[in-house]
Amino acid sequence: MGNAIGQMLAFAVGVAVSPFAIVAAVLILITPRAKSNGLTFLLGWMLGIAVLGAIALAVIGPSNPTSQGAPATWVDWLKLVLGVLLLVVGIKEWRSRPAPDAEVPMPKWMGALDGITPVRASGLGVLIGAVNPKNFLFIIGGAAAVAQTGVSGADQTVAWVVFTVIASLGVIVPVGIYFAMGERADEALQRLKGSMVRNNTAIMAVLCLIIAAKLIGDAISGFSS
């Protein structure tokens, strides 16, 4: 199981440091129903990741290694495809990053969060956590990384619980700050939001490019073995 956790760790971190999710969490925590909205957003986020990963693992299943003990060939092809997709996303994000002194506008829907209800906050958590294209690729990549180790279904479940928790840290941290500090957290959360908005594209570009390089490198090594 340790091998499975090690293989999926980079993907979980990629989901966790998504600036988009952190900004959304901060905005929800400054709404009138901050406590209930923050908790339901976090629960929706974790549920989306857990369910998508469970579906992916059920479809992929434990991959049968080759006679030499290496992962099945199809796993290498999946890694290559995911790596290329993340490479394209990373290049696009890097090319679209704003100038250092440019004002970065937030998406219009983020300005309409003031009246959001706990139910809608949970739905938003699912959408941003699992349906977001970049997170979707990271989650599928993480599921493939777990499956390729060939561990049992029980170990896969434990590994995916660990993945979900690590991938949720980017949302858990601002929610935890709010519950620990209450209204005094507003200034710290606003600073965090501003930093994430300014550096969103650069952070995601670097993450996508690093994980793409890892996936493509693993795929090439697999084809050569």
Give pLDDT tens digits for 128-138: 889 888 889 88
pLDDT, the chain, mean: 81
Say which residue, 140 or 218, is predicted with more confidence: 140
Which amino acid is located at 60 in the chain? Answer: I
**Is 50 exceeded by the pLDDT of residue 125?**
yes
Domain boundaries of the chain, sorted by first residue: 2-224
- pLDDT reading at 110 higher than 60: yes
Give the model's pLDDT for residue 67. 45
The residue that leads in pLDDT, 63 or 14, is 14
Nearest 5°: phi and psi at 101? -100, 10
Mean pLDDT of 203-209: 82
pLDDT band at 169 (very low <50, low <70, confident <90, very high): very high
pTM of the model as a whole:
0.78
Where does the pLDDT of residue 116 fall: very low under 50, low under 70, confident under 90, or very high at 90 and above? confident
Q: Using CA atoms in the order 196, 199, 201, 203, what is the torsion angle rounded to 10 degrees?
A: -90
More confident residue, 190 or 169: 169
Measured distance CA(187)–CA(136) in Å, rounded: 32
Can you give the pLDDT at residue 63?
Answer: 56
Indicate whether 160 pLDDT > 90: yes
> pLDDT value at position 79?
80
Predicted local confidence at residue 48, as pLDDT: 95
33-77: per-residue pLDDT in tens? 888 999 999 999 999 999 999 999 888 766 555 444 445 677 778
Contact yes or no for 52/128 (Cβ under 8 A): no
Contact 198, 23 (CB under 8 A): no
Quick check: 170 pLDDT over 60?
yes
70 backbone dihedrals φ, ψ, rounded to 5°:
-85, 160
Considering only residues 179 and 161, tell me which one the structure prediction assigns the higher pLDDT: 161
Q: Which residue bears the tokens 């760790």?
A: 9
pLDDT score at 69: 45
| Whole-number pLDDT of residue 90 | 85
